Structure 1
Amino acid sequence: MLETSARLLRLLSLLQSRADWTGAELAGRLGVGLRTVRRDIGRLRELGYPVDAAPGVAGGYRLGVGGALPPLLLDDEEAVAVALSLGTAATGSVAGLGESASRALAKLLQVLPSRLRHRVAAFQEAVEPLAGAAGPGVDAGVLAGIASACRERRRLRLRHRGREGTVTREVEPHRLVCTPRRWYLLAWDVEREDWRTFRVDRIEAPLGPPGARFARRTPPGEDAAAYVSRSITSAPYRHRARILFHAPLERVAPLTSPAAGRLEPVDERTCLFLAGADSLESLAAYVAAKGVDFEVLEPPELVPVLREVAARLGRAAGASAPG
């Protein structure tokens, strides 16, 4: 039988590992009787852990939500995963999160066993973020406020900076979608009665108080990530392109980014690339760099640009010294 202190830690670990436990299950795992389980639950409550109990045959125990964050018990892999995630967050795109992540990481490293600290240190020494690769910073308070409104299904009034200046929109927030460089909000625009995608870094802080509750809507025929991918790769740009790659989707997909364009299968040997760009030259360079044969379905204005790029490459190849 475990000593009381060790048993309490084991009990806390079990309660944190899944949502619900019956008293009999906890007693069996700890090797004690039901009365001891009830006493240990009482001790955890005295220490500040909010343990909820449901009476009856189908009842049991679960770790509830308290007013303060209690200590967490993590196994080796969980501790390393949290440490690496905090290290990544410290250099991420959410403004104001870096300092908090660094403080949390320092606390975690202080109590990690030596064998785990060496694993985390190896990662920190081997990885160096590329300066300038991250997208525009996102206000952590704005991000948290939007996430809360999504969860609680409450309307928001946003001040969003667009090409025509700052506009105010009343929206029903649906989902936050992130790419490696940017965060987007998919929301129902109440005034326009349609779905809209907003870049979160262009939403001005602070957010106003959440408004009335709303019934959840579903984007037409797509999940949130697919809808945002479609909207950010075509709608905002001057030129829209349809490119037929002469290669199966499985080959082309690793060569493209969901933020650059959308791929659709055509048959076993070809796939369609749908994208947008403000510059036909940049679009031509992007598709040509994939190393896959292709043809332009639209716009026709892209074809002479490709000829110019091909001629320029030919001149560069001819002017370059062999070898």
Structure 2
Amino acid sequence: MRRDDSISHTSAGPLLEICDLNLDFGTPRGRVHALRNVSLDVPAGQVVGIVGESGSGKSTLAYTVMGLLPENADVTAGSILFEGKDLLKMPAQVRRNLLGDRLSMIFQDPMTALNPVRTIESQMIDIQHHDQGSRSEKRARALAMLHRVGIPDPESRVGAYPHHFSGGMRQRVCIAMALLVKPVLLVADEPTTALDATLEVQIIHLLKELQKEIGCSVLFVSHHLGAVAELCDRVAVMYAGEVVEQGAVRDIFHNPAHPYTRALLECDPGRIKKSTRTLPTIPGEVPSLLGSKKGCIFRTRCPQAFNRCLQENPVEYHIGLDQVARCHLLDEERLVSA
């Protein structure tokens, strides 16, 4: 039998520790530096959110952790330590054995995540291939989990195909499959993007309840700041392949230190108190990631950029005990106060 106590993790260090990760994609136009010097910790039993605009590298980071990258992807530097072992240096078969066991993922589109020509029952039984037990025992566990995620009458629905379910119900099935194996780390790649606002709230609350029940850690990728505030303990803000700020959710939302984080929060419709036809935006576009970059990657869109931003890549500066940001302004403020 699979060890149920395996979801507990030693408190000696983070469950997942991403250190100075760099990843390129080879293209006909040159190498795209999709991730640059990304460092991020996911503590045991906590939910860490990753936010940023489209093209910021959020999903690329999630897929890199899972080892689900296309052939033109190349990790050029860094490490991904999971339970103290570097996933990037593991033999391919050893790493594959972790998937659907200690590592599990909820994909963005529930329709493409499920096999359209196989029943939900067969897919949920197959995903338990690491577990011992008969087919009837695995079916019973599948039914119990479908009931837990709110699928009505799972006994009769389990034999249906994915297209028989609505988008919200398909996403519940995907969550049930991901958590059925009781992973120690769940990677959720924008699991509410395809859902309407009401369903999104339900799915977030469901994820929160199930995460506490199972005790797993979650790496939660989202562009929805409200969902991150509701679900996550910590948050990392990504821009153009870099983590520009990270810390506890409360610190980031109440005391953002990086100009990009402040701009993101100002664009959140949930923070707009007066009715308006014009929503705030961040001027400009995410820069091309082709070729080498000098200076701050956000400088072309930053209203506070100055000469140093053109010449030097900013390093991490600490704000308080548990918050860091990459911005030259923080160093300038420190120099002035000194």
Higher helix share: 1
- In the superposition, the TM-score normalised over structure 1's length comes to 0.26
- In the superposition, the TM-score normalised over structure 2's length comes to 0.25
Q: Which has the larger radius of gyration?
A: 1
By relative contact order (CA 8 Å, sep 6+), the higher-ranking structure is 2
